[in-house]
Structure 1
C-alpha cells in the first residue's frame, strides 16, 4: 500500500513539474481585455509588494516575432524583457501586451526557432489570427485602446506615460505617440525612421556580388509589395501588408513630437545611416527634445561582432543600454 502511495505521489509531483505554468507563478499579473472583438493578454510587472500602489505605466512594445511574452523551461524563467527591469520598478509598473492569438506564456520546448509560436510547427506558420493582424496600425490602435482602459485602474497614475519599443516595436511606439497625447516620454530603440524596407535593402547591398544582385531583388520585391500593399500570404513569411505598413517612414511623426524622445542604436546596425541622417536633420530643425545615443561597434540587438562579422553573444549590453534609458529619464 505504501509503495502505491509513493508511486502516485511521485507521478503527481513529476506531472506538476512539467505542468503548464501561469504568469502568476513568476510574480507577474496577467490581465485579459478586449480590443474590438479580439482577446488581448497583458503582462504587468510590478515591484513585489507594490502591485496596488499607484504608479505611472512603462509600456514596452515587442519586436517582430510571434513570441509569447513569458517563456520558461524546467530550469526556470527566461528573460521576459531584454534587460533587467528592476531599476524601473521603483517608479513604474511595466506593461507588455502580447501578440494577437499567440499564447501569453509557454514552455520553450513547445516553441519553434527563435522561441516563435507556430500553429503549424513543421512548416513554421504562426496562427492565422496573428498573421491577419500583424501590421502597424493594428498594434498602434490596439495598444492605445488598452492604455485607455488601463488608465481607469486605481493602481495607475496618469500624469506620466513612458512608451518604449525596440526594432519593430520602435515603429509601433512612435506612431502611438503621434496619436496619443497621454504619452509623455518615448524611447525609440533599434528603429529606422525611414522604414523597414530601407534596412532590408541596406543589408542586401552588403551581401551582393555582380553575379548575385541581392539589392535589385529587394527593389523588385518592393515594387510587388507597393502594387499589392494589403495582400496577406499564409506561407510563414512576412506578408506584403506587414512589410508595407512597417516600411512607411516614421521620420515625420518623430520630427513633429514635442515630448522628450530618446533614440538609441548600434553603429553596426543596418539602419545606422538612416538614424545618423535623421540626427543631422533633427539638429538642422533645432529639435532639442530629441536625444541621440549611439553604441559604437554594436549591432541591432547591442551585441559586438568579431572580425568575421559574427555576433559575440557572450558580451551582453542590454543592461547598459537600459541604464542609459534610466539616466535619460531621471535627467
Structure 2
C-alpha cells in the first residue's frame, strides 16, 4: 500500500485545529473525576456569566492525543476545539474532556522534518477507546447534573469528526441526554472508509484496478490482526492501539443512532477530503428504511472536513471558512427542538 494513501487516510482521523481561538485563564472550572473501569479523568466546564439554570453541552473533539490547547513552534496557541466557546458560554454550560493522561494545555514537540507531535504516555495508550470516551462523557453528565443548576430539558452531546462517532454512544449510555449533534463523522465501520477510498481511487483512475485490489487485500489482513487481538495495547496500526480500533468499530455510530428516539442532527461536507460523504449518506437512508423520523441530515455540498469552501476568482483560489455558520445552524436547530 502506498505511503500517500496511508497519509491521506490517516488525516481522516486527525484532530481539528483552530489557531484563532485561545482560552483565557479562568474561562473554565476544572474537575477531576474518577469512575471504575475508566480511572481518573479531567473535565473543563465554562464558567457562567450570569446566575440561573442553563442547558448542558458536552463538546467532543476529534481524535489524537493532543492537549485541548497546545502551543506551537511559533509560540501561538491552537486548539482541538472547533466551537467558539466564548460565543455560547453565556447560554450553556459547555464541557470539554481531556484525553486520558493528557493535560489541558501543553507545548507540542517537533521532529527534525518539522512535523508536530505530542508524546504519548502509558495512561493514554491503555485507556483510549470508544468505551473510555463515551463513558467519561456519560459520567460527566451525571456529576454535573448534581453539581450545577443544569436545565435538564436540554442536555446535549455535540461531537466533531471522531467526536461525532462518540456522541450517539454517550446518549445510549446516559438517558439524560436530550439531543445529539454530529459533525463530519462516519456512520459505518470506521475501517470501511479505508476500503472505500481505495475503491474510489481505482474507479477514478488515480491507481490501477490491480493496485486498488492489493490495497483492499492488505487492509483486510490488517483488520484480521486487529480483531484477533481486540484488547491489545501493545500492537498498533496507524499509531493507535488495536484496542482503540476495535472499540470504535465494535458498534457503529449508525447502530447507536438507531437506538435513540431523541432528536439527532447529522452534518456533512459534500467535498469532505477526510470523511467520505457516501458513508454518511447511508445513515439517512437507513432512518428512512426503518421509518424513524428523529434524524435531521444537513449537507454543505461544497465544504471540506473543516467546512471550508474553495472557489476561483480571477484565477486565484479563495477559501471561505463556514465553521461558525455551521455551528450556528446547529444551535438554531437546538433552539427549535
Shorter-chain TM-score above 0.5 = yes
Aligned to 1:142: 136
Aligned residue runs from structure 1 range 279-298, under 5 A? 279-298=284-303
1:190-213 CA distances to partner (integer Å, 9 max, x unpaired)? 111212101122223344433462
Report the Cα offset of residue 23 of structure 1: 6.9
Matched, 1:274 2:279: yes
Aligned to 2:61: 62
Aligned to 1:230: 231
Report the Cα offset of residue 105 of structure 1: 1.1
Matched, 1:253 2:256: yes
Which structure would you say has the larger Rg? 1
Contact 1:68 1:116 in 2 (8 A): no
1:250-271 CA distances to partner (integer Å, 9 max, x unpaired)? 3222122111100001122343
CA distance in 2, matches of 1:222, 1:305: 35
Aligned residue runs from structure 1 range 65-80, under 5 A? 65-72=64-71, 77-79=77-79
| Structure 1 spans left out of the alignment, 5+ residues | 1-21, 119-125
SS in 1 for 2:146: coil
SS in 2 for 1:66: coil
Report the Cα offset of residue 89 of structure 1: 2.4
Aligned residue runs from structure 1 range 66-105, under 5 A? 66-72=65-71, 77-79=77-79, 81-105=81-105
CA distance in 1, matches of 2:79, 2:220: 37
Give the counterpart of 1:320 among 316, 325, 329.
325
CA distance in 1, matches of 2:177, 2:311: 39
Give the counterpart of 1:185 among 179, 182, 186.
179
Contact 2:59 2:157 in 1 (8 A): yes
Aligned to 2:17: none
Report the Cα offset of residue 177 of structure 1: 0.6
Report the Cα offset of residue 306 of structure 1: 7.7
1:117-156 CA distances to partner (integer Å, 9 max, x unpaired)? 21xxxxxxx1111011111112222221122111111343
CA distance in 2, matches of 1:117, 1:33: 24
CA distance in 2, matches of 1:76, 1:268: 29
Aligned to 1:241: 243
Report the Cα offset of residue 80 of structure 1: 5.7
**Aligned residues between the structures:** 296
Compute the TM-score of the two structures, normalised by the length of structure 1.
0.79
SS in 2 for 1:320: helix
Contact 1:35 1:146 in 2 (8 A): no
